[in-house]
Chain A
């Protein structure tokens, strides 16, 4: 225990830098994927051929191992192997594959009678989509967002194997120091804490966005 504190005292700045970088590398892709998934999910929900294409593309992306993707992207994009942009793009692809699917599932799950009622009340399609359909689809979409976020937080660590920052660097540091445990344990604790905090924040967001779920709770 005391060794962990001593490590934090002497390397606190490095740990903080790694943590901040980890947050960026894990959460930026989720944010990008979330924004892109809404229109794409709507498209997939609406057009059957788009659904087949999206689901197939999604499963193909899933089968590509993250480390392999991280190393193949520089060859495809012409970026440097050490460029963090590879991590952002790789994780955005994974998150997008998951979120397009859950967005479509969420939109599918909205009761059509509710939409008919909204139309009958004079809602135009665009307003109906944003104020009725999307909010009702939110619980399913946010479940996907939770899975993507937790997966990303734990996946970013892999990037340290090829020399990109984040909490994974604490693991490789411990390895280089001959399995010196303090940085390894700090990295594990911070990584799990980050995943848990992000998850709790999304649950809070969900409660805020779906007030009817609480009102109707039995």
Chain B
């Protein structure tokens, strides 16, 4: 394996349109856009289903079916229907990101102990207050776990943007394959893997900042900490 392309300083120029910094920014752009849209769709639905317990079966089955959809096929279908551009790529990545976010939001809200919800109701909180101020903070570690899972899959799948003529880190993979420059392919693959790790670490950091110390046990030195089930990870797409 040759690392020449990866280590060539010219490819790390900040101003070059096909240097790594520029491609990383494009790649992150596709990722953040898709994750934001998916979160706006999936969080409220997961919250509603988790809080009321209604419609769970439908949502879970739809989520599982969505998981079985090959993203490449969704992308091609979207391209055929709306034409080439950023929109079909975003549609495909949003379809990819919704199932993990929806499933973990629902699972997180359901994992809140009934006694806790009853206590909140007992002290006179409204349903909206219970959802926002009790259930969401307690469910947050699991919910962020779902977001991390989704972001891993989206970062790794956003490579397909380059296959249909857009930018992002996939460019190095497909351009390198087309011109038989394997060092370019290797460089792209390594940078994508590093970016996936970096995004995951950033979200892990965000998790520490956002989750109340009382919830994840950091605030309870002398009390036994609650063991919470970690969300099941899934292979990156």
Q: Which residues of A contact B (CB under 8 A)?
A: 58-59, 62-69, 71-72, 75-76, 81, 94-95, 97-98, 101-102, 144, 147-148, 150-158, 160-162, 167-168, 170-172, 174-175, 179-181, 184-185, 187-188, 191-192, 195-196, 199
Check A196 against B70 for contact (C-beta < 8 Å). Answer: no
Checking A98, A151, A152, A179 against B76 with a beta-carbon cut-off of 8 angstroms, the contacting residue is A179
Given contacts A66-B235, A154-B69, A154-B237, contact A179 B189 (CB under 8 A): no
Taking the nearest CB of chain B, how far is it from the CB of A75, in angstroms?
A: 4
Main secondary structure on B side of the interface with A: helix
Please report the C-alpha to C-alpha distance between residue A160 and residue B152 in the assembled complex, in whole angstroms. 21
Please report the C-alpha to C-alpha distance between residue A161 and residue B173 in the assembled complex, in whole angstroms. 10
Check B189 against A72 for contact (C-beta < 8 Å). Answer: yes
Residues of B within 8 A of A59 (CB): 233
Residues of B within 8 A of A152 (CB): 235
- What are 15 A-B interface contacts by the 8 Å CB criterion? A63-B196, A66-B237, A68-B188, A68-B193, A72-B190, A95-B235, A151-B235, A154-B70, A154-B71, A161-B160, A175-B163, A175-B164, A188-B70, A191-B73, A195-B68
Taking the nearest CB of chain A, how far is it from the CB of B140, in angstroms?
A: 20
Residues of B within 8 A of A102 (CB): 232
Q: Which residues of B contact A (CB under 8 A)?
A: 1, 64-65, 67-77, 79-80, 152, 155-157, 159-160, 163-164, 170, 173-174, 177, 182, 185-186, 188-190, 192-193, 196-197, 200, 232-237
Taking the nearest CB of chain A, how far is it from the CB of B137, in angstroms?
A: 25
Residues of B within 8 A of A81 (CB): 177, 182
Query: Closest residue of chain B to A64, judged by CB?
Result: B193
